Amino acid sequence: METELTVVTLNCWGILLVSRNRVARMTAIAEELASGKYDFVFLQEVWTTEDYERIKLRTTAVLPYSHYFFSGVVGAGLCIFSRSPIKTTFFHQWAVNGYIHKVQHGDWFGGKGIGMVEVEHEGLTINLYSAHLHAEYDRKNDEYLAHRVNQAFDFAQFISLTSRHADVVIVGGDLNTEPGDLAYRLIVHTAHLHDAALVCSSTSEELRSMNTCKTERNSYSSLSSLKTNPFGKRIDYVAFKGGPTVNVFALRCETSWPDRVPGQTFSYSDHEAVVAKLRVSKFVMGSILIAPAVLEEERKNEILEESIEVCDHALTHLEASKKMYILLSIAMFMLLTITANLEFPLAPVLRVVLLFLLFFAVFMSVIWHRMEVHGILSGKLGMVIELGRPITPKEDKLPETTGMGGSGDDAWTEVCSTGCIP
């Protein structure tokens, strides 16, 4: 049995009141998807149900099955469209996903994660996954590296655990990580995926043509980004793998949508769409291709060790941040006490500001700190287990929330003592 599938993934840049030409672009995206070329569609940053319904209404004749993943404050922004019936859906939200007070970044409010649908297509069980990892805002000073690495491990584990009975796995999404980055390697090697663009590109020039963000061809790429990196970067992917009795081959992978929306001066999005054509072959006796399992396992273990180091560094940094917030809360409390009986112009305003800062510092040092520690520690322990080594009592013990000294610091030292970067 043999069949061919055409899939496309696109970050639609659909932020309400922020994204330029949003309605016109969403309409154009819907028109392209309604052409009947695609079997499965993965969309990210569809932040409003209005845009989802607009695309759904236009494509229902050729992509009659779809699912929108709700999560967080404004939704996950993820949706999947399918030519074949959807049997099961599931969404997994990242345990760590940015900071609530970094409003200018907004990742936390999006409730990002990984969405999965299981479809039946010509007798094949196909698992489709779409994801959107935390953005990289500063490559040299990446404060979200540990978050993205944990998300990448979550992603890979989720795929591995939910695809055991699938004939085919197809992944489409904006992973916000470039080829060679730790998060990219963690996803590809832990989940044993094949990057369609990498498979189909025989030269560096061909691979460069697959760049998807801040490219010269895109109307929304800024001049400043083009000066520093005129070729853009590749952060949007189609990846795949076959089950034990299935071979999957990438026939082609390209960013083939027009540079501009027909009749307009702007692009479909600030990202490029990635289109891949896959050939699926099912055999009764299974695949005759044997992967170099030992070499692949060694490579995966090296990546996991590197990821654990990133988690250790993040946990050490979190302890320092906690102490800073505790000192800030003490300072705000003292200032509130000193100014409580003083009367001068704007005194009430000053006390409101101090009270807000006190609340913020206590919240960050007590509640948010513990949430972030738990999220990163959970990912780290999962990596240790994936490596096949036992978790030591020191690694498994959680830090206490007892302030800046005493048993809290002792417990934290026990968690972070092995492999921590000072």
pLDDT by residue (tens digit) across 185-227? Answer: 999 999 999 999 999 998 888 999 999 999 999 999 999 889 9
Contact between 339 and 310 (Cβ < 8 Å): no
What pLDDT is stored for residue 195 in this prediction? Answer: 97
Residue 137 has what DSSP assignment?
Answer: S
From 194, 271, 313, 369, the catalytic residue = 271
CB atoms within 10 A of CB 286: 13
Checking if the pLDDT of 422 tops 80, the result is no
Q: Give the residue, 203 or 39, on which the prediction is more confident.
A: 39
Residue range 2-289 in CATH 3.60.10.10: yes
Q: How far is CA 91 from the centre of its chain?
A: 13
Q: CB within 8 A of 211, min separation 6: which ones? A: 231, 232, 233, 234, 255, 272
Q: How far apart are CA 379 and CA 381, in angstroms?
A: 6
Q: How far apart are CA 111 and CA 53, in angstroms?
A: 20
- Lowest mean pLDDT: which of 8-22, 93-107, 298-312, 366-380? 93-107
Residue 369 designated active-site: no
pTM: 0.81
Checking if the pLDDT of 182 tops 70, the result is yes
217-237 tens-digit pLDDT: 999 999 988 998 889 999 999
Across 23-37, 275-289, 307-321, 358-372, the highest mean pLDDT is recorded for 23-37
Using alpha carbons, select from 199, 189, 202 the residue that is nearest to residue 292.
Answer: 189
**Pair of tokens at residue 149:** 């690495």
**Pair of tokens at residue 191:** 């989940």
The 3-state secondary structure of 299-350, one letter per residue: HHHHHHHHHHHHHHHHHHHHHHHHHHHHHHHHHHHHHHHHHCCCCCCCHHHH
**Pair of tokens at residue 300:** 């995966």
CB atoms within 10 A of CB 213: 22
